[in-house]
Amino acid sequence: MYDGGKIILGIAVFLAFATFPFYSNMGRTVPKAEPKIDTPVIQQMEEKECVEPKEFMRAEHMKLLNEWRDSALRDARRVYVSSRGKRYDISLQNTCMKCHSNKSKFCDECHGYAAVKPYCWDCHFVKEEARDEH
Amino acid sequence: MGALLSLSVVIVLVLIALAGVGGADLTLLFGVVIPYLAVATFLAGVVYRVVKWARSPVPFHIPTTCGQQKSLPWIKHSRLENPSSTIGVIGRMALEVLLFRSLFRNLKTELREGPRLVYGSDKWLWLAGLVFHWSFLIVLIRHLRFFTHPVPSLVFLIDSVDGFLQIGSPHLLMTGLLLLLAVTYLFLRRVFIPQVRYISLPADYFPLFLIMAIAASGILMRYFYKVDIVKVKELTMGLASLNPTVPEGIGTIFYVHLFLICTLFAYFPFSKLMHMGGVFLSPTRNLTNNSRMERHVNPWNYPVKVHTYEEYEEEFREKMKQAGIPVEKE
């Protein structure tokens, strides 16, 4: 091999970058994301349901929240009629967070796991109660 | 036509993943076995190719130059275009690798009325190439969020800069779109420029279609047909920590995306994509132009047995004298 030193250095740099996920996770176990829905408000509900079905919320909640934002702040429409025909007040703080008062154990659980930083909290504040609970 | 062949191969690959996971439910094969095989092929193949290149001797310094060579002190030396020192070469290589400087000089040639041959500036290929490669790199780094925990702050930084337009939710990441646009341009260029189409082979079209399909499936998955991202991360973290698990209920489109990427990884070392390593090993770019300052001896020069004139005269002096041939020493 010609210029062996430089070639081996180059290969070492390549392998260091390419195998970064492997050695950085060596011997490390990451707890799975398990969002909790055991808040007092949810436990008192007779029928435990969100504004839309669970599957829809799991996949599309961010889209719904974005639509709610536009609807409430840009069009001043504050009533949401769900696919089941129920009416909800469009408000992150008063509707979503009323039941899901445990931001750190609900929102942050998956967002932290999947490294997503939603910009809800650039404007909204996290209620003290929600923080104190956990 | 090469393009149709390549397109059909990519379509078949998508169908294989759809049938394998959507039909036969082979999630272990498509989620664990194939990714490991693909990454192993990629790593071993790239190292093998680079070592094989490194075994070829490059005895003489043969840089392509486009500037004034280092010469007399009062003649201005072009350090980057015609480097005479290692620092100059590093600068030249950095410009080449990071900014595609040689492609910036790309010209278009046209035969006009007359006949008259005209040259014109043509920066589109350079621009699209730059957008394509940088977007691909950023997309790749962004994907570290699936393979690390805690995720490095660099990934968050890139994500926030990439998505700073804050369009929609999940917020639009510009590089994904730019990658798809740039790769589409690189494909259309091969179709619409007759000279380029003439020299284009299936090996040129296939990576373009493959990357197009990878970008498209990724965009579909992020914005339209959502998959369970938490389960995706469970799978990818399992792969990265060598402790694979296959969670139930990840959408099939994820496996299509993953299978296309595995194909890209496995195909990489055998293809033109090896220019990733090759750009560093181009003798016409990574050598100094110091042939007038240093003597480069061919390492495989055979030791030639020489018989000098002195030795010859020594051997035949008497015979030469008898034949009347003049000799240097009496």
Interface test with A, best of B39, B169, B245 (most A CBs within 10 A): B169
Span B4-24, average pLDDT: 94
Q: Do B230 and A33 touch (CB under 8 A)?
A: yes
Look at residue B168 and tell me whether its pLDDT is greater than 90.
Answer: no
pLDDT tens digits, one per residue of B174-232: 999 999 999 999 999 999 999 899 999 999 999 999 999 999 999 999 999 999 999 99
| CB-based contact A15:A23 (threshold 8 Å) | no
pLDDT value of residue B93: 95
pLDDT, position B36: 97
CB pairs under 8 A between A and B: 92
pLDDT at residue B96 tops 70: yes
Say what the ipTM of the complex is: 0.89
Does A123 contact B at CB distance below 8 Å? no
- The CATH architecture assigned to B2-322 reads Up-down Bundle (1.20)
How close, in Å, is residue B95 to chain A by CA atoms?
Answer: 18
Q: What's the pTM? A: 0.89
Average pLDDT over residues B268-275: 96
Average pLDDT value for residue range B28-52: 96
Q: Which residues of chain A have pLDDT under 50?
A: 130, 132-134
pLDDT at B11 over 50: yes
Residue A130: the pLDDT is 47
Give pLDDT tens digits for B229-263.
999 999 999 999 998 989 988 989 999 999 999 99
